[in-house]
Every structure is written in structure tokens, then in C-alpha cells.
Chain A
Amino acid sequence: MLEVRDLHVRYATPTGIVAAVRGVSLTVGAEKVGIVGESGSGKSTIGRAVLGLVRPPGTVQAARLAFDGLDLLAADATTLRRIRGARISMVLQDPKYSLNPVQRVGRQIEETVRVHERVGGREARRRALEMLEAVRIRDPERVYRLFPHEVSGGMGQRVMIAMMLVTGPELLIADEPTSALDVTVQKQILTILDELVTSRGMGLLLISHDLELVATFCDRVLVMYAGRLVEECTAAALHRAQHPYTRGLLACLPRIRGPHRRLATLTRDPDWLGCPTP
């Protein structure tokens, strides 16, 4: 569905060119793919590049960046607008900053439908309510009328997901969708995403810093370090990961079950910067 080959994203800064993503290749089908890495590893930039959201001075270069056979790099602004939000959607980390603070949440979901499809007001409203129900909001009529500051973090994130899925996209890019939420709410949101992926045959690209979450939720895991993919494996095989960086990340996590000895810390090998992408 999504095909990325040899993607480079560079930013020109006063002190020189910063390469945020350096030669990343990946494909996403109807599956859950996780990208993990530390802050600054370039994982969010990949999501932005796919949607054409890298702004100047940033530049995107790739041997191929295609969605469903369509070349995203060659596409003009109108074509991209038709794809963004309708066929590929993106959920961001914090609902507090991603929702319009002065518009009722139901209206915001409706707007997504009306921008992408020719539907009337009543139909848009019905679709918005239906979607709120699909993300397990108990009283959709009430929530529909609320403003973003009146909903909790977990509810806000569900509203965001509803907004992104109301057009029935084929691919969802979720950038740290649950990092701002409590663990029990996090689980609910993931369950909703999981069901939607399964029932709609949607592709999901989950960007996260949480290794354990990605390993237990996704089908495949891609590990990023300094703008490169250093490892790719099935989620179930993550604990047998080969790359010293992945092993280091796993080793420095504290465990509930102990033993509570000194935690391993990561020693960064300069060789990792140049290692070939698998």
C-alpha cells in the first residue's frame, strides 16, 4: 500500500545541513507496523514526509515514495490534498494542541467529512455521531456538543481518532497516539485502533518511543537510530533482536519483576551511524 525507498529528509540550518532521515526504505500493507527510536531519531519526520508535510527549509528526496501506486513526490498540491485526510490520515500525540479550541468537537469531525465528500449537513452529522460511537464514546450526542477543553485527554484522543477515521482512510499514521495518556486509557485506545485495522483492512504505521508497547501491539517493528533503520523484525522476535542498539534499548528498561540491580546504560557506538540499512 505504502512504498518508501531510499527516503532522505534534510534541513538546511545556519550551521549546515542536518540530515533527519538518511536512506530509509519501508513498505506498509494491511498490517500494523511500528517505528521505534529515541527523540531525534527521525521517526516522526518519516510520517510527515509521507504526507508531504515537511516545510522548507526541509527537503524530501526519495527513489520512490508511493501510495497505492501513486507517486506522492510528483503529485501536485490538489492531488495531495485529496489524499491527505481521505485516504491517509495522521493522528498526533496531543489532542490538546491538535483540536481547534473554539469549535465544538462534533463540528470538527463533520468538517473532515464535508471537505472530502459531497454530503449534506444531516448526513455529515450522522457520520460524525456514528464514528464517535465506533471509538466507544458512551454518549455521542453529548460529546458532539463539547468543546475540546471540556473533554479529558483520553476522550480527546478518541475524538482525534474519530476525526481521522471518519473518511475511511486506507492508511493511518499514528504519531505517539497514546504517549500523553494514562496506561489504562492507552490500552482502550489501542484496542479501538486494533479493531479498526482488523475490521476495515486498514494499514497502520505506529510511531512510538515505547518499545514494549510496539512489540506487543504491532506485527512488525522497525528500529531507527540517527535517521536510519538499524533493524527490522517481527514484533514477536524483538526480544531476539540482533542490533546492539536495539538490545541496549531493551536492556535499559526497568522491570516490575526485577531483579532491581543497576540498570544497563546505552553506550553509543559511532559505527551505528554508518551501518547499512537491512
Chain B
Amino acid sequence: MIEVTGLDVTFSDGRTSFHAVRQVSFRVAEGGCFGLVGESGSGKSTVLRAIGGLIERWMGEIRLAGRPVGPRRSRAERKLVQMVFQDPYGSLHPRHTVDRILSEPCTIHGLADVDRRVEAMLTAVGLPRSFRFRYPHQLSGGQRQRVAIARALILEPPIVLLDEPTSALDVSVQAEILNLLGDLRRDRGLTCLFVSHNLAVVAHMCERVAIMTEGRIVEEIDSAALGTGAVRDPYSRELLRSSEGYLAELADGLAR
């Protein structure tokens, strides 16, 4: 469903340039969930934004649903991919009601039956219908992220890009959102690309995981292999150890 071959992204402002993504290749089958992990600055979000059509210049090849796409997208191409961002406080328009936030994509894409779609979508993400005319500041962080997910899914895209969707949330709310994403993915047969710095979250959600550092994918493995610690690359090993709490042995005790 998603095929990325030799993706290269360089940001430059005329004088200085920064090579953010270097020769990244991977593929995600239809209905699959693929994880990208790495630290800040590793290029994982840039890969996501290039696939989402939010970066103007890149080199390499990106194919979505079998067709090659460029940096500029037609309306039909945009309907293929939708994105959920990290910060539920920053990604919703503060002066738009939930109703307007969800209706706007439908209007832009000329979909009929907006009213029914909005209500159905609110129910699908587990929000009461009475929330339809609320503003973002009247919602909690978890509820806002549900609205952001609803906005991404209302166009019924086959591909969803998730950029740290639970990093700003408490662990209890994170569990609810991850469960919701898992259910929606199963019910709608979504293909997902999931970016996170949290290895446990990615291992939980995805079947395959790529570990990135300095713009490169250093290792691509099954998440089951991540669980058994069967990683080869020294950077992956360090990341795995660091994510197990301050003392790995004690964290093991907790997991049991």
C-alpha cells in the first residue's frame, strides 16, 4: 500500500542545508501497521510528512496504492492519505467547533451527507453526539485527540499517518487512544504508519518496526523480535536498553 524507495530530503535556506532523510526505503502491505522509531532529529517525522504531501521537495520514489505520487498532490491523491499529529492542543483550530472541524474536509472533497458523516464519525471515535458543537478548549487532551482522529478518518482514507499520537497524553488516556486506533484499524482495514519515540507503544501497535537515526534506517525488524531483544545494530540496542527505565533489571521485574 505504501512503497518508499530511496527517499532523500534536504532542507536548505540558501546558505546552509540539512540532510534530514538519507536513502530511506520500506514498504507497508495493505492493512499493515508499520512503525518508525528514533530520537528527535532522526528524520522519522520528515519521512511521514513527505508521504503525507507536506514537504515540497524530496528525491526518490513514493508509491501509494500502487501509483507513484509527487510532492504536489491532486485532490484524489490527498484523499488517500490523512494524518494525525502529536499535539492535540495545537492541531485543532481553536475558534472552530468540532462540527466545523469535521465538516470542512467533507465540503472540500465535495462529499454528500455531511451531517450523517459527522455524527457517525463522532460515535466511531467514542465521543457523545452532544460534543458536536463544542470548541477544542472545552475538551480534554484525550477527547481532542479523538476529534483529530475523527477528522483524519472522515474522508475514509485507506492510509493513515500517525505522528506521535499519544506522546502528549497521560498513560491511562494513551491506553484508551491506542485501543481506539487498534479497533478502527481492524474495522476499516486501514494501513497505518506510526511514528513514535516510545518503543513499547510501537511494539504494541505495529507488526514491523524500522529504527532510524541521523536520517537513516539502521534496522528493520518484526516487533516480536523487538520484544525478545533480538536487534543487531548497536544503536538499536542502546535505544532498547534506554527505553526500559533507569535500570533494565528492575523494569523487567515491573513487567512481570
- A interface with B by C-beta (< 8 Å): 38-39, 153, 182-187, 190, 209, 211-213, 215-217, 235-236, 238-239, 248-250, 252-258, 260, 262-266
Q: Is the CB of A266 within 8 A of B172?
A: yes
B13 within 8 Å of A by Cβ?
no
In the complex with contacts A258-B227, A263-B204, A153-B250 CB distance below 8 A = no
In the complex with contacts A184-B242, A190-B246, A216-B247, A254-B228 CB distance below 8 A = no
In the complex with contacts A215-B250, A265-B176, A257-B227 CB distance below 8 A = yes
| B residues 197-253 in Cβ contact with A at 8 Å | 197, 199-201, 203-205, 223-224, 226-228, 238-240, 242-247, 250-251, 253
Q: Please indicate which of the listed interface residues A211, A212, A213 has the most CB atoms of chain B within 10 Å of its own CB.
A: A212
B124 within 8 Å of A by Cβ?
no
- B247 closest partner in A (C-beta): A216
Q: What is the predominant secondary structure among interface residues of chain B facing chain A?
A: helix
In the complex with contacts A38-B170, A266-B172, A257-B179 CB distance below 8 A = no
Q: How far is the CA of A153 from the CA of B197 in the complex (A)?
A: 15
- B interface with A by C-beta (< 8 Å): 39-40, 141, 170-172, 174-176, 178-179, 182, 197, 199-201, 203-205, 223-224, 226-228, 238-240, 242-247, 250-251, 253-256
Q: Is the CB of A264 within 8 A of B175?
A: yes
Which residues of the partner chain A approach B254 to less than 8 Å between Cβ atoms? 212, 215-216, 238-239, 250
Least Cβ–Cβ distance between B2 and chain A, in angstroms:
21
Q: How far is the CA of A183 from the CA of B176 in the complex (A)?
A: 23
Q: Is the CB of A211 within 8 A of B171?
A: yes
Apart from A153-B40, A212-B244, A257-B227, list 15 A-B contacts with CB within 8 A.
A182-B197, A183-B239, A184-B39, A186-B242, A187-B242, A190-B246, A213-B246, A216-B247, A252-B175, A254-B205, A256-B244, A257-B203, A257-B228, A257-B255, A260-B223
Q: Is the CB of A253 within 8 A of B200?
A: yes
- CB pairs A–B below 8 angstroms (16 shown): A38-B170, A39-B170, A183-B242, A190-B246, A211-B171, A212-B251, A215-B251, A216-B246, A216-B250, A252-B171, A255-B204, A255-B227, A256-B203, A262-B179, A263-B175, A265-B172
Q: How far is the CA of A258 from the CA of B203 in the complex (A)?
A: 8
- B226 closest partner in A (C-beta): A256
Least Cβ–Cβ distance between A124 and chain B, in angstroms:
33
Q: How far is the CA of A271 from the CA of B166 in the complex (A)?
A: 28
Least Cβ–Cβ distance between B40 and chain A, in angstroms:
6
Which residues of the partner chain A approach B239 to less than 8 Å between Cβ atoms? 183-184
- B223 closest partner in A (C-beta): A260
